[in-house]
Amino acid sequence: MSGSRTNAAKELCGRLLLDEPMARHSSWRVGGAADRLYIPSDLDDLCNFLKQQGEATPLLWLGLGSNLLVRDGGFRGTVIKLAGVLNELQFEAPNQVTAGAGATCAKVARFTAEHALGGVEFLAGIPGTMGGALAMNAGANGGEIWDWVESAETLDRSGKLRVRRRKELNVSYRHVALPANEWFIRARLSLQPVPAGQAGRRIRELLARRAETQPTGEFSCGSVFRNPPGDYAGRLIERCGLKGARCGAARISEKHANFIINEGSASARDLEDLIMLARERVRSEFNVELDAEVRIVGEKP
């Protein structure tokens, strides 16, 4: 690193971790070390940090580490962790809420319910942050986040902020086409006024149903595969007889076949092998190609 870059880095206010094990930042509790992991102190600090990164430096944006598998060889680049940092929530009368990318989906759901606003109760059961939810158009129980987004603010490598309106972006099932090297940092939601207490009751109902049908309380990433058109990934995997299938200490959940569990000592390789097994068996038996919802990054050892 040159002297000028070293001096610039000293102006940063966030926390920089070197050779940081990603298992500490993953809901699956696996993953090799990232070269660097940066936790900004605020938005200005994040902009400053991005300006100092070379164009060739791979960047990985991280929330709670759900929906992500970092291979055992680690990540050769910089991870930027926003969970708990850009987590502001602001009510704007009469029916709008601004949510930062680092706010958890569950907190957004509770906040909107407290203000008697409905529409995004489904977020209560999504184990991630708003940044990830926006990037992949997260959804559950028939709802998707971009059904309720009026606009979103983004940040690019140069530290430039932009406002992207819903109509500007190509949004589809579990996908949002955002320009390369541009990331979501905030969203404005336009919601529906509902009677006091109604949204809170809906959240409790959804969480109770989730506890009955999904393996909560275990190390997982949430749903592994997107649902194929007209069907459910979990149903197809179950029809292949793969509930309970194992690779090392990784196991396809007996409760819901679209969840893979780390029993405590699984490697990223164990989890990826089970992902490949499920995909290959469904392809072989049903001629259906399952697309992974989980993002797999990093190097194999």
Is 205 marked active-site? no
Confidence label for 133 from pLDDT (cuts 50, 70 and 90): very high
- In sequence order, the β-bridge partners of residue 250 are 247, 262
Residue 1 has pLDDT above 70, yes or no: no
Residue 77 has pLDDT above 80, yes or no: yes
Residue 55's pLDDT is 86
Other Cβ atoms less than 10 A from the Cβ of 300: the count is: 11
Residue 29 has pLDDT above 50, yes or no: yes
Average pLDDT of the chain is 94
Summarised one tens digit per residue, pLDDT across range 106-116 is: 999 999 999 99
Whether 3-81 shares its CATH topology with 215-297 is answered no
Residue 8's pLDDT is 42
Averaged pLDDT, 12-25: 97
Give the global pTM.
0.91
Q: Are strands 117-118 and 192-193 parallel, antiparallel or unpaired?
A: antiparallel
Give me the catalytic one of 76, 157, 174, 269: 174
Q: Are strands 250-252 and 260-262 parallel, antiparallel or unpaired?
A: antiparallel
Residue 206 has pLDDT above 80, yes or no: yes
Summarised one tens digit per residue, pLDDT across range 170-189 is: 999 999 999 989 999 999 99
Residue 3 has pLDDT above 60, yes or no: no
From CA 35, how far away is CA 168, in angstroms rounded?
A: 35
Residue 5's pLDDT is 35
Residue 11's pLDDT is 85
Is 223 marked active-site? yes
Residue 232 has pLDDT above 50, yes or no: yes
Summarised one tens digit per residue, pLDDT across range 217-228 is: 999 999 999 999
For Cα atoms 207, 125, 286, give the angle at the middle one, nearest 5 degrees. Answer: 105
Topology of domain 215-297 in CATH is 3.90.78
Q: Where are the domains of the chain?
A: 3-81, 89-203, 215-297
Residue 187's pLDDT is 97
Averaged pLDDT, 84-98: 95
- CATH 3.30.43.10, applies to 3-81: yes
Name 117's Cβ contacts closer than 8 Å, sequence gap at least 6: 95, 97, 191, 192, 193, 194, 199
Give me the catalytic one of 220, 223, 253, 267: 223
Residue 6 has pLDDT above 60, yes or no: no
Averaged pLDDT, 146-166: 95
Percent of the chain with pLDDT over 70: 97
Residue 254's pLDDT is 98
Averaged pLDDT, 82-102: 95
Among the ranges 10-14, 51-55, 100-104, which has the highest mean pLDDT value? 100-104
Please state which CATH number belongs to domain 89-203. Answer: 3.30.465.10
Is 174 marked active-site? yes
Range name among 3-7, 69-73, 259-263, 272-276 with the lowest pLDDT average: 3-7
Averaged pLDDT, 142-158: 95
